[in-house]
A and B are shown apart, each in its own frame.
Chain A
Amino acid sequence: MSWTRRYAALIRNAWLVDLQYRASIVLWLLWGVTEPAIALGIWWAIAGSGTVGGYARADFARYFFGVMLINQLTIAWDSWYLDRWIREGELNFRLARPLHPAHEAVADNIAYKARTASVILIVWLVAAVLWPAVRLSATPGRLALTAVAVLLAAGMRFFISFTTGLLAFWTTRATAIMELHAGVSLFLAGRIAPLALLPPAVASVAGVLWFRSMLAFPVDLLTGNVQGVEAVLRGFGTQLGWLAFWAVACRAAWTRGLRRYGAVGG
Chain B
Amino acid sequence: MPATLVAAERLSKTFQVKVRDPGLRGAVRALVRPRYRQVQAVRDVTFRIDPGEIVAFLGPNGAGKTTTLKMLAGLLYPTGGRVHVAGFDPWTGGPAFKRRIALVLGNRQQLVWDLPPEETYQLNRAIYDLAEADYRERLEELVSLLALEDVRDKPVRQLSLGERMKCELVASLLHRPPLLFLDEPTLGLDVTAQEAIRRFLIEYRDRHGATVLLTSHYMQDVTALASRVLMINQGRLLYDGALDVLVARIARVKRIELVLGGGDGVTRDALAAFGDVKSFHFPNAVLEVRREEAPATSARLLAALPIADLSIEDPPIEEVIRQAFAQGVEGEDA
Contact = CB atoms under 8 A, between A and B. Distances in A.
Nearest to B122: A9
Contact of B74 (A6, A93, A96): A96
A49 interface: no
A192 interface: no
Interface string B168-186: 0000000000000000000
A266 B129 contact: no
Contacts of B125: 9
B218 interface: no
Interface of A: 1-2, 5-6, 8-10, 13, 16-17, 20-21, 88-90, 92-99, 258-266
B237 interface: no
B95 A98 contact: yes
Q: Which of A20, A96, A97, A260 has the most CB of B within 10 A?
A: A96
A98 B123 contact: no
A20 B114 contact: yes
Contacts of B110: 93-94
Contacts of A264: 108
B67 A96 contact: no
A211 to B, nearest CB: 29
A6 B127 contact: yes
Nearest to A6: B126
Contacts of B129: 1-2, 5-6
B213 interface: no
Contacts of A263: 67, 70, 75-76
Contacts of B70: 92, 263, 266
Contact of A97 (B112, B114, B127): B127
A196 B70 CA distance: 53
A23 B258 CA distance: 67
A266 B64 contact: yes
Given A93-B103, A263-B76, A266-B66, A98 B126 contact: no
Contacts of A262: 15, 76
Given A96-B73, A259-B77, A9 B127 contact: yes
B76 A261 contact: yes
A95 B75 contact: yes
Interface residues of B, number: 40
Given A6-B126, A16-B115, A17-B114, A93 B109 contact: yes
Given A261-B76, A265-B66, A13 B112 contact: yes
Given A92-B105, A93-B110, A98 B77 contact: no
Nearest to B15: A262
A103 to B, nearest CB: 9
Interface string B110-133: 101011000100111111110000
5 contacts: A6-B127, A20-B155, A97-B127, A98-B98, A99-B95
Contacts of B127: 6, 9, 97-99
Given A98-B94, A99-B95, 17 more contacts: A5-B129, A6-B129, A13-B123, A16-B115, A16-B119, A92-B108, A93-B103, A95-B75, A96-B98, A97-B98, A98-B96, A98-B98, A258-B77, A261-B75, A261-B76, A263-B70, A266-B76
Given A92-B108, A98-B127, A13 B115 contact: yes
B41 interface: yes
Contacts of B101: 96
A90 B111 CA distance: 11
Contacts of A93: 103, 105, 108-110
B243 to A, nearest CB: 23
